[in-house]
Amino acid sequence: MIMGVMQARMSSSRLPGKVLADVAGVPMLGRQVERLRRSRRLDELVLATSDQASDDALADYAAGLDLTVVRGPLDDVLGRFVLALDAYPEAASVVRMTADCPLTDWRVLDELIDLYRATGADYANNTATRTFPHGLDVEVMKASVLRLAAREATSAYDREHVTPFIYNSEGRFRTQVLTRDPSLAHLRWTVDLPADLDFVRHVYGALHAGDPDFGTAEIAALDWNSSTAG
């Protein structure tokens, strides 16, 4: 079983409430869930948010999308991922995503999972060598490796960012990196700032009505200076 876990919170310092911001008439999180549910590899999709009152509305919205919701410490995101594993103890692998990437391409996600499976890796990502746009980031790891990280990681940074303990443990885990050619590393498709949200809304306005399953190539081909949109 492969479980996808999206981490999210409403208390972003740069753009508070962004994960529920409107994108073509639907909260941004809902748009991302639409895209992720096209994956042919994910068996479950979970939202991991905080136990703070500020995230009550987020948890309620996610539950309305029939997502499993787990809630834990605001800053111990790694601990929240373990709660997701506890909810699905049969999960053998975990895919980590953030909920501020509503242009996620399920094809990239599935390609990374296929690489991870074919090579027998403990951990795989598409970020260590950056060739995908910022906002198409994805990581997949064995559930046992994630639990090991949760037991041994002690720094606040490692707990907040989930996977640094794994990818910084040189030689301890078998890792793989997915790349693409040509590189689109100069593009920014994640949502941290108001300009990023404007770009995402532009993309949905231009593409969604004609093809709700638009992908990376279609976004990159838009007549928009996406390399400087954020």
> Tens of pLDDT along 191-221?
999 999 999 999 999 999 999 999 999 999 9
Given a cut of 70, is residue 224 above it in pLDDT?
no
Average pLDDT over residues 104-129: 98
- Looking up tokens 């994910």 gives 42
Given a cut of 50, is residue 230 above it in pLDDT?
no
Pairwise pLDDT comparison (95 vs 228), residue with the higher score: 95
Domain ranges of the chain: 2-186
| Cβ 201 vs Cβ 23: under 8 Å | yes
- Looking up tokens 């094809």 gives 107
Given pLDDT bands bounded at 50, 70 and 90, which one contains residue 12?
A: confident
Structure tokens at 22: 């409107």
Q: Output the CA–CA distances (angstroms, integers) from residue 146 to 30, 80, 92, in the order listed.
A: 26, 11, 10
pLDDT in tens, 154-177: 999 999 999 999 999 989 999 999
User: For the chain, how far is it from start to end, CA to CA, in angstroms?
Assistant: 36
pLDDT of the residue at 229: 41
Architecture of the domain delimited by 2-186: Alpha-Beta Complex (3.90)
